[in-house]
Amino acid sequence: MFNLILFGPPGSGKGTQSEKLIARYGLKHLSTGDLLRSEIASQTPLGIAAKSLMDKGQLVPDEVVIGMIDHALVNNPKARGFLFDGFPRTKAQSEALDALLKKKGASINVVLALNVTEDELIKRLLNRGLTSGRSDDTKEDVIRARIGEYHNKTSTVADYYDKFGKVVLIKGEGSVDEIFDALSAEIDKRLDK
């Protein structure tokens, strides 16, 4: 198995690059943001509870997203690997993910961390808010709250995996294709081994 975390702040291009990476490498894409938005669309109790936090730009509780990932791992026994997008976002989520993968005899191979300036993140998200229909993209104070959650709770995930030498920083500005090439080069190095 090859398991990859695509890491970075809101708007850094995780979703955009994930689409291209799963097409090239045949990995199963697991985005907790997408899973939560699909719960909201189906108006499940989980979705309704999550929406009020997401609309404020706050993280949903660890046990909610860990449960969703546990479920997805169990339901995809034949996947050749997973691309985690927007998960893990706290140290507790990182530890839970490692434990869930261990049960499958697997682990995280690499964490590719997209680096983008805050001005660029805000510009991208406000721009997407014009058309995305995502309620957390339209207000600048909510976007700033999301970035605040990233600094306060999520950036520690990179420190956690850095201890295992698994983090590679990637310049997240430039054309989508340039960034994709840089990400692919790091994956190829590790697939060759």
Residues that bind Mg ion (CB under 5 A): 14-15
Residue of 5, 11, 101, 157 that binds ligand AP5 (CB under 6 A): 11
Contacts of 72 (CB under 8 A, 6+ apart): 28, 30, 35
Q: Does 68 bind ligand AP5 (CB under 6 A)?
A: no
Q: Does 128 bind ligand AP5 (CB under 6 A)?
A: yes
CB of 15 closer than 8 Å to CB of 180: no
Contacts of 11 (CB under 8 A, 6+ apart): 116, 120, 121, 122, 124, 125, 128, 143
| Whether 134 is catalytic | yes
Cβ-based nearer residue to Mg ion, 14 or 166: 14
CB of 160 closer than 8 Å to CB of 91: yes
**Annotated active-site residue in 37, 51, 146, 166:** 146
Residue of 4, 10, 39, 166 that binds ligand AP5 (CB under 6 A): 10
Please, what is the Cα angle at 61 between 55 and 169, to 5 degrees? 85
Strand, coil or helix: 22: helix
State in angstroms the smallest separation of the CB of 173 from ligand AP5. Answer: 6
| Whether 37 is catalytic | no
Phi, psi of 108 (to 5 degrees): -80, 125
Catalytic residues: 14, 89, 128, 134, 146
- List interacting residues with ligand AP5 (CB under 6 A): 8, 10-16, 32-33, 36, 53-54, 57-60, 65, 86-87, 89, 93, 124, 128, 136, 146, 176, 179
